[in-house]
Each structure stands twice: as structure tokens, then as C-alpha cells.
Amino acid sequence: MVQCEMCGAETPNPKTIKVEGAELQVCANCADFGTEVRTKSASSSTSKYSTSSSSSSGSSASSKSSGGTRKRRRRDMFDEMDELAPDYDQRIRQARESAGLSQEELAKELNEKASLIRKLEHGDVLPSDDVQKKLERRLSISLTGEGGEEEDAEWESSGGGTGLTLGDMVKRKD
């Protein structure tokens, strides 16, 4: 018997579903909360939790059935989202300074609060979609993409190939 990763109920036949980018083993009752994922075998060598919707191993395994024919998997809304660049705060500050604007002037032009611009430039908050579009349009910059190798290196496991654990990602405050 396997325990459902959503409700905790014991289930003899768990189903693998994808919920917001993470693959979970769930009971039949909880299967409606995500998109069912078909895998070749129950014991996969890849991690069952995905941090990136563009990982090639997860999408290729879920798009093929055991017969070798391709089966289209249902699209997840997170597949279509652009990721915010890790240095978005620096991009905003540099573009604003090169345009010769103060934080207050930029905020006034965007019809936003100056405190929001300050927090964005310090990296304290993430821009909403509307604010991101306004900034990109006004400052002629892109706040998405180009994290590439840096981001991938951050998500490597130190557990000897057994996949990521919570301990790999937690940063302790001592």
C-alpha cells in the first residue's frame, strides 16, 4: 500500500498526476486535482518532483506510451509561462539610471508607487504581470529568461543521484 501524497490515504493503486509542475502519487479521489501523467515504469530514475516545466526528461517520459507511439500530454499552464530573470532587479535599476530617471519619476510615469520601484530594485518583491509589462515597455528591457546554467546549477542534488530532497534546498537561519 502506498500513501497518497495529497490526502495521506492508503491506496493500493496510486496514480501519478502533475499539479503545478510537481508530479505526485495520489489516490483515485485526489487524481482530479491535476493532470494524469503516464510513465513507462513505476520506478523511474528521475526525480518525481520537477522544479522546471521545461525539463526534458520529465516531458519526454510523459509524452511516450509503452508501445512506442507518441501520446500528447495535456498542456500545463506553467509550460507557457516565461520565467523571471534572476537579475531582474539589476536590469530595472540599470535601465532606469541609463534613462536618467529617479525612482519617483519612473513610478509617476508608470502610475505606481515609488516604494514599489524601490522594492523591485532591491529584489524584495516580484513584479506583477501588469507592472512587468509597464517596466519592459517604458525602459525597453526584458525581465524574462537568460538564467540558464546558473539556475540549473542551483538545483543540482548533493544526494549522490537519488534526486533532490528538501534538505538540498533549505537555507537555515542560524
Higher pLDDT, 145 or 136: 136
Q: Give the pLDDT confidence score for residue 166 in this predicted structure.
A: 76
**Cα–Cα separations (whole angstroms), residue 87 to 112, 162, 164:** 21, 30, 24
pLDDT tens digits, 41-65: 544 444 445 454 444 444 444 444 4
CA distance 80 to 87: 21
Q: Give the pLDDT confidence score for residue 79 in this predicted structure.
A: 66
As a whole-number percent, the residues of the chain with pLDDT over 90 amount to 29
Long-range contacts at 38-47 (CB < 8 A, ≥ 24 apart): 38/62, 38/65, 38/71, 38/73, 40/64, 40/66, 46/163, 47/157, 47/163, 47/164
Averaged confidence pLDDT in the chain: 76
Q: Give the pLDDT confidence score for residue 171 in this predicted structure.
A: 76
Residue 16, pLDDT > 60, answer yes
Residue 88, pLDDT > 80, answer yes
Q: Give the pLDDT confidence score for residue 55 in this predicted structure.
A: 43
pLDDT tens digits, 107-139: 999 999 999 999 999 999 999 989 999 999 999
- Domain architecture of the chain: domains with CATH: 2-79 (no CATH), 88-139 (1.10.260.40)
Contact call for residues 121 and 103 (beta carbons, < 8 A): yes
Q: Give the pLDDT confidence score for residue 162 in this predicted structure.
A: 63
Q: Give the pLDDT confidence score for residue 78 in this predicted structure.
A: 66
What would the 3-class secondary structure string for the chain be? Answer: CEECCCCCCEECCCEEEEECCEEEEECCCCHHHCEECCCCCCCCCCCCCCCCCCCHHHHHHHCECCCCCECCCCCCHHHHCCCECCCHHHHHHHHHHHCCCCHHHHHHHHCCCHHHHHHHHHCCCCCCHHHHHHHHHHHCCCCECCCHHHHHHHCCCCCCCCCCCHHHHCCCCC
